[in-house]
Chain A
Amino acid sequence: MKSKRGDLLNNVLGLLIAVIGIGLLVFAVVKLYGVTVNQEEENAKNILNVIEGKIKNLNDGETGKYPIQGIEGWFLSGWSGDNKERPEKCFLESCICVCKGDVENYYFNSLEISKKCQEKGFCRDIDKGQLSISSIIKAYEVGIEELKREEKLVNYITFPKNLIEIEIKKERDLLSISIPV
Chain B
Amino acid sequence: MGFSKKGALVAYILIPMILALAGFIILLYFLGMLDFSSYAGDEVCKLSVLTRATTPATAQNFVPLKCSTKKICLTKAFFGECKEFAGEKNVERVSLPSGVEEAARKIEETNANAKYDCWRMMGEGKLDLFGNFWEVLGLDSEMGQSTCIICSRIAIDKDSFSEKELDDILGQVDINNYMETRQVPGSELTYVQAFSNSGTSNLVAVQENADNTKEEIKSVLSGIFESKENTLNADDKAYIKNNYEKLENGNLQRTYVFSQVKKQDVGKALSNLGNIGVSIALGAGMTPVISKAAFHPYVLIPGLVVAAGTAGYAAYNSYIGNEAAGEYCGKFQSSIVNEQKGCSLVQGVPYDVKYVNSICKNIQGNP
Contact = CB atoms under 8 A, between A and B. Distances in A.
Centre residue among B86, B150, B362 by max chain A CB count within 10 A: B86
Contacts of B69: 69
Main secondary structure of the interface of A (DSSP, over half): helix
B353 A165 contact: yes
A50 B12 CA distance: 60
A70 B5 CA distance: 67
A43 B366 contact: yes
A50 B20 contact: no
B289 interface: no
B53 interface: no
A30 to B, nearest CB: 10
A54 B86 CA distance: 6
Contacts of B88: 49-50, 53
Interface in A106-149: none
A16 B357 contact: no
Given A20-B24, A32-B62, A54 B34 contact: no
B356 A163 contact: yes
A129 to B, nearest CB: 22
Contacts of B361: 161-162
B150 A69 contact: yes
Contacts of A12: 13
A31 B64 contact: no
Given A32-B63, A50-B88, A17 B367 contact: no
Interface string B64-75: 101001000000
Contacts of A54: 86-87
Contacts of B21: 20
B351 interface: yes
- Nearest 4 CB-CB pairs, A to B? A53-B87, A57-B86, A69-B367, A39-B64
Interface of B: 9, 12-13, 16-17, 20-21, 24, 27-28, 31, 34, 59, 61-64, 66, 69, 83, 86-89, 148, 150, 351-353, 356-357, 360-363, 366-367
30 contacts: A5-B9, A9-B12, A12-B13, A13-B16, A16-B20, A20-B24, A28-B31, A33-B62, A36-B61, A36-B64, A39-B64, A42-B366, A43-B367, A46-B367, A50-B87, A50-B88, A50-B367, A51-B87, A53-B88, A54-B87, A57-B87, A67-B351, A67-B352, A67-B356, A69-B367, A70-B363, A161-B362, A162-B356, A162-B362, A165-B353
